[in-house]
Amino acid sequence: MTFSQKLVEQVWEKGRVDPQADPAVWRKDECGAWVRRTHYRDRESEFGWEIDYITPGGPTRLNNLRVVHWQNYLAGGVGRVVCKVTADSAGIKNRKA
């Protein structure tokens, strides 16, 4: 699904902020995986991310959308996150869960 730039930015703002990183550039998904703002829909990136529906089939509203690392998104499918990727404890890096 294609989302407006405004909605993409609003969903990005819902990602978890980590004090060790610039929140304009970096956020974490609910699995703790790092995602980079400019890597939206980039499935070649270690830090790529997608917008996922919290309630599948629900409305396309901000309160029903969330940031999810692309690998976690694909592992779970719409509305169901499976944590295949999480943050590494050493800086801004991800690791397989």
Residue 76 has pLDDT above 90, yes or no: no
Tally the residues of the chain: 97
Q: What are the extents of the domains in the chain?
A: 5-96
Structure confidence at residue 80 as a pLDDT band (50, 70, 90): confident
pTM score: 0.92
What would the pLDDT profile of 31-61 be if each residue is shown by its tens digit? 999 999 999 999 999 999 999 999 989 999 9
Helix or strand (DSSP H, E) at 27: strand 26-28
Integer Cα distance of 40 and 68 in angstroms: 10
DSSP 20: T
The average pLDDT across 56-85 equals 92
Predicted pLDDT at 3? 97
